[in-house]
Amino acid sequence: MKEKILKTLLEIEIQHKIEIIYALESGSRDWGFASPDSDYDIRFLYINKPEWYFSIIAKDDNLNVKDEKSDLDFSGWDIKKALELLLKSNMSLYEWFNSPKAQEFKKLSYKFWSKTSLIFSYAALARNNYKVYISGKDKVRAKKYLYILRAIAACLWIENTGTFPPIEINKLSEILKTQDNAISGFLIYLIETKKQGAELGIIDPKKEIDVWIEKKLDYYLTNSNKYEKPPKDILLLDKYFYKAVFQSYMC
């Protein structure tokens, strides 16, 4: 599969006349609870040629390519779009590129991430999943609990350690052991069941877990603004952007 992924990335570069500077797996495989039949979610950053950026016409700054036969899903952002989102502490961007595979971008991102923005983003993601798939339902999809608890664990991690939450779910779930053994045990059960390829099917709602989720969501969505937002030296992003674009095509 690795050869197929690399071949497709090269084809994307040639077809769109870009240079891909980072590429990695995201989703369940990167998070550590992939099942044998999980899709491959490939995320990447790319650079256009310098003249692409000097235009009065707005252009698409993202690329999406699907290979249904191989269960491959490619999604990429132009470097300028990515840096703009980094300035806003975009949750998806930080999860994509705070992987060990993207060290240079990771170092830059640490200068700009905001506890307030990320806690609110994770809590809002959990709330939306909870309201749509769990709250008030007679039967629920167990898989949704996995995503909701992962997001709340990320909030707990940021609040308690002051650092960006780890991507890998087993490490992230450790923070729940300090909160509630029942919640921690349930999350570990969901992770191991999914990794073994067993179906996380339809189950009865977990009332005690729902109460805990609602309590945590209310707390984080109400108090996320208590965390100080760091000052942001945009000049650092401008310099990185200039260096990335011109060094790539003028070497």
Residues in the chain: 251
Burial tier of 43 (Cβ tally within 10 Å: 0-12, 13-18, 19+): buried
Helix (H, G, I), strand (E, B) or coil at 78: strand
Q: Rounded to 10 degrees, what is the CA torsion of 192, 220, 123, 114?
A: -110
Cα angle vertex 115, ends 110, 116, to 5°? Answer: 140
* pLDDT given for residue 231 in this prediction: 65
* pLDDT given for residue 243 in this prediction: 87
**Which contiguous run of DSSP H or E holds residue 187?**
helix 181-195
pTM summary value: 0.80
* pLDDT given for residue 77 in this prediction: 94
**Token pair 């310099």 is at which residue?**
239
* pLDDT given for residue 224 in this prediction: 67
* pLDDT given for residue 221 in this prediction: 92
* pLDDT given for residue 102 in this prediction: 64
Q: What is the distance between the alpha carbons of residues 39 and 113, in angstroms, rounded to a whole number?
A: 29
| Rg value, the chain, Cα | 20
Helix (H, G, I), strand (E, B) or coil at 13: helix
DSSP for residue 37? T
* pLDDT given for residue 199 in this prediction: 63
Which distant-in-sequence residues (6+ apart) come within 8 Å of 181 by Cβ? none
Angle between helices 207-223 and 181-195 (to 10 degrees): 100
**In whole angstroms, how far apart are CA 226 and each of 114, 120, 128, 219, 223?**
11, 11, 22, 11, 6
pLDDT per residue as tens, the chain (251 positions): 788 889 999 999 999 999 998 888 877 666 766 666 677 889 999 999 999 998 889 899 999 998 877 788 999 999 999 999 888 888 888 887 766 556 777 777 878 888 888 999 999 999 999 999 999 999 998 889 999 999 999 999 999 998 889 888 888 888 988 888 889 999 888 888 877 766 677 889 899 999 999 999 999 998 867 766 666 778 888 988 988 888 766 65
**Token pair 């806690």 is at which residue?**
119
Residues linked to residue 19 through DSSP beta bridges, in sequence order:
47
Contacts of the segment 179-186: beta carbons below 8 A, 24+ positions apart: 180/212, 182/208, 182/209, 183/149, 183/209, 183/212, 186/145, 186/149
Q: What is the distance between the alpha carbons of residues 163 and 109, in angstroms, rounded to a whole number?
A: 12
